[in-house]
Each structure stands twice: as C-alpha cells, then as structure tokens.
Chain A
C-alpha cells in the first residue's frame, strides 16, 4: 500500500479491481487516467514505480496517490495500484499506422478514501479528538455517508468506466453516471 501521511479521520471505501489479460496500450491507459485526474483538479503523484525483468516476462508495479481538497475540512483520495505481469511488447498495425502495444496480465486496484479534518486542527489533544469523533458519529454522520464517502465511491466507478472503455472491455457502461 501507499504510505499515507494524511491527518484527520480516515473513511476508507470498498476496494475494487479491474483485471485484464491480453493486448493493450499501456501508455495510452496511463495518459487517459492521468488526464481524468487532472481534469478533476486532483493532485497526482506517482508514488512508486517498480520494474522487474524476469525470465518469463517483465513485471511492473505502479502506485498512484491522487488527492483533492474538497473544502477546508474534507479531502478525497484515490489510491491506484497497477500490477502487470508477463509483459511482452508487440507491434500492431492499427488504421495503417504501426503501434507499440503490450501483451500482458494486469490488475488495477482502486481504493477510495475520504479524510475529514485533514488539516488536523482537531488533533491537538484528547478532548478535541473526542469532540471530533462525537461530531462525526452523531452530528454529521448522514452527511459523511451520503455526501463524502458516497461521492468518492461513485467517482471511482466513473474512472473505471474510462479504463474499461480504453481497454475495450465488454462489461462497460455506467447507469450511475448522474448520481454524483
């Protein structure tokens, strides 16, 4: 996992996976995803890049940390973890042009997280921490569930739709497009 130094209370959503095995444009996929984050004003950070040349095929591991300050109190974070095995470069002619693609197995893991009090203003002592906990559990509980964690949960599906479309996967489409 990505080493996360954010302050505040962490609300981690459900982790989901997109897996693909076949020929695909890895460079194009990275570009599409980075563009998606930039368009939505996310601060994008490639935390880790690992490359292992093996005998059978190459392995790549990439970790992204993407964060956005929603307001002074709430911050949304999307962690992406790529694990790609058996990478073999292949040359394909598409629309009359030569293109360098990869034949590989890939697993992309998406983790949505919402941080409340991300500036750590309520972390000074035990009393303020208790007050924050009380505030989150009893005063704005519905707001956290229905607005903050839910919004980021569905935002991840929007990103997944882009990924699936790029990989030309069959199970694409998104009925919850206008939920958030």
Chain B
C-alpha cells in the first residue's frame, strides 16, 4: 500500500443562500484543469425529494509530482434542499439555485503510489529511512505545494460563493 500523509485536515466551507450548482461544479472542474490536476470523481449523487434536491459529490483529484510522490486533494461537497429559483438581475430574469452547501477539503501527499518499495521487508525499511532522513527536504516542498493549492482552491470557491451575496 502506498503511504498517505494527511497534510490538510478537514478545511470546511459553509454557505447558505443563492448560488448556481452547475457553475460551482464547473468552477472546480476548470480549476483542476488549469492547475494540471488529474480528475477523479469518485461519487456524484443526486436525490430528488419533496423539499428540493440533495447533492453529494466526492472528488479526489491528484497531481503527479514524480514517479514516487503525488499530491491528492479530497473534496467532499454536501448540498441540501437545493431548489431552483428565478431571480431578477439588471432587468433580466436568471435561473439560480437556493440551498445549503457544505464543503470539506482534505490534502494528502501519497508516496510510493506504484507500490514498488513493498515487495520485500528490506525495501520497506529502506523507504522509511529515506523518507524520514534523506527526502525530507523534498517532501516538505511537496507539502508546501499541496497547502498552497488547497488554499487557493478554497479561496476561489469562497469568493465565487460570496459573489452571490451582492
């Protein structure tokens, strides 16, 4: 098994009010494309109920840094009671959604994701020694990149949702 290190633990974002689900989804999708992350949409669930739609999304995009290490972001999005509403803006009517959004961001660094250092116990031991004492300088750099990326994505989503307030 590849080794995962949790770098960002449960960074949360909550929002209630007007927004567009499709635009939010596309914003994240475009961000991933722009920052060269490989897309992995693990789950996309939509439940249509009498009070509106409940939407659950789980995205796990990853960025390969080397053949040995990669950064992975886990984005969980829970939307509750999402309804379609018509809003008048600058004299024209536009369709938006109204509901609650909760987003959770986690960031991991994954090392030896190809499981090449797990065939023998000696390899596992060597990997642990190298990771801890020799590659530490490099792995810290990977972590910095991951923290920066998650924060940037978080701020992008936050400013996007804030736009609907005004």
Chain A residues proximal to chain B, CB less than 8 Å: 14, 16-23, 150, 153-154, 157, 160, 164, 167, 169-176, 179
Contacts and interface: CB of A to CB of B under 8 A. Distances in A.
B110 interface: no
A17 B47 CA distance: 14
Interface residues of B, number: 25
Given A170-B21, A173-B29, A174-B29, A16 B43 contact: yes
Q: Is the interface of B mostly helix, strand, loop or mixed?
A: strand
B26 A175 contact: yes
27 contacts: A14-B42, A16-B41, A16-B43, A17-B42, A17-B43, A19-B43, A19-B46, A20-B46, A20-B47, A21-B45, A21-B46, A21-B48, A167-B46, A170-B22, A171-B22, A171-B44, A171-B46, A171-B55, A173-B22, A173-B25, A173-B26, A173-B29, A174-B29, A175-B26, A175-B30, A175-B32, A176-B39
Interface of B: 21-22, 25-26, 29-30, 32-33, 38-48, 53, 55-57, 82, 97
8 closest Cβ pairs, A-B complex:
A22-B48, A170-B21, A19-B45, A175-B29, A21-B47, A173-B26, A171-B25, A175-B33
